Amino acid sequence: MSDFWKMPLEELRSQAAVETLRLHGRKITYVVNRNANFSRVCTVGCAFCGFGKRPGSVGATSDRIDEVVARVGQTPWVTEVCLQGGIDPNLRPEYYFDLVKALREAFPWMHLHAFSPMEIDSLCEKAGCKPPEMMGKLRAAGVASIPGTAAEILVDEVRRKISRNKLPAARWVEIVKAAHQAGVRSSATILFGHVERWEDIRRHFEVLQRVQEETGGFTEFVPLAFVPYQNRLGAILSKRAGGMKVLEERIRKRAMRLYPLARMVLGGVIPNLQTSWVKLGVEGAVESLGWGCNDFGGTLYEEAITRSSGGKHGEGLEPEQIETAIRGAGYEPQERSTLYGSVQKGFSPRKKGLSPSCRGASWQMYRNHN
């Protein structure tokens, strides 16, 4: 078997492109979704994050449930809403359950992709229960899948350097497995381009592979490039590197190798590899389609976490912009659901004037594809 970790870059990328073509043809998928970040209050203090605010500091706010519902209502045509927030000690478990229930009531056609393993860990602590019980409660409330964020690098030595207060790698695995066993699928992620070594990335891949072989619950793998502009870790690493431009180039080069590695090492168990236009920019995301990616990600509409660290590529794209970018690279765009199912071609709640109060045939059609 080839040692992809040692393979020359051009050969690796060529093999990844061939393998992606074999698995997915010229089809590149994307999802029409939006983010809803409901709290900037966070006690974790990750060195790579510019989003979270310590309780009592300027900008440390959490939204009321009706405020979140109103924001989501600005984009009633999306098929998915991704709910994530900081770790706010004052938000009780009931807030999370009530938020999910309110969104399900207002927008029953939307798939709720909600709460990271870190948030679920905090919920377990507040409620005094274990992950399987908590996942059962969240599923009953209406959570349909969870984002596999908070993974960063699943090596505790690295985690202690960049996010010492975050849940350990084993706890992340425990929560993700509990979700999968409860019938709640998740994405899988990695945060790269900071202090990690290639050996750490290998170990991270091995953890994901073991979980997927056991549960089959990962829908996709999403590599996330470190955004260094407005956070403590970025300031340290740019100084070490000799300037921000040097650090940016290191991150770009790591991305060029990590994406095809992910395709060749993990593609057999996690066939969907998602790029990140919000991290790489649209041009970089298009380029990564030739490195093994088969999914363009989502429209997002309200991307705040990357932007708060100085992200330069905006907070949302329209479906037409994504499709134009994909076609321009010689691929065929295809809208998908969160779980990589099909969405009826030509059905657009936006064009049909679908509103949160809609309970007619259009809503029923949309729900069938959720």
Residues annotated in a binding site = 42, 46, 48-49, 116, 152, 276
What residues are designated binding site for (3R)-3-methyl-D-ornithine?
A: 116, 276
Query: Partners of 224 in the beta sheet?
Result: 191
How far, CA to CA in Å, does 340 sit from each of 132, 135, 274, 294?
25, 22, 12, 11
Token pair for residue 310? Answer: 């100085």
What residues are designated binding site for S-adenosyl-L-methionine?
A: 48, 152
With tokens 């549960």, the residue in question is 215
Could you tell me which of 316, 312, 313 has the C-alpha nearest to residue 303? 316
Q: Could you give the residue ranges of the DSSP H alpha helices within 190-243?
A: 198-215, 232-241
What residues are designated binding site for [4Fe-4S] cluster?
A: 42, 46, 49
Distance of CA 92 to the CA centre of its chain: 24
Q: Are 291 and 256 in contact (CB under 8 A)?
A: yes
Could you tell me which of 25, 19, 16 has the C-alpha nearest to residue 330? 25
Distance CA 275, CA 326 (A): 12
Distance CA 32, CA 115 (A): 19
Q: Are 300 and 32 in contact (CB under 8 A)?
A: no
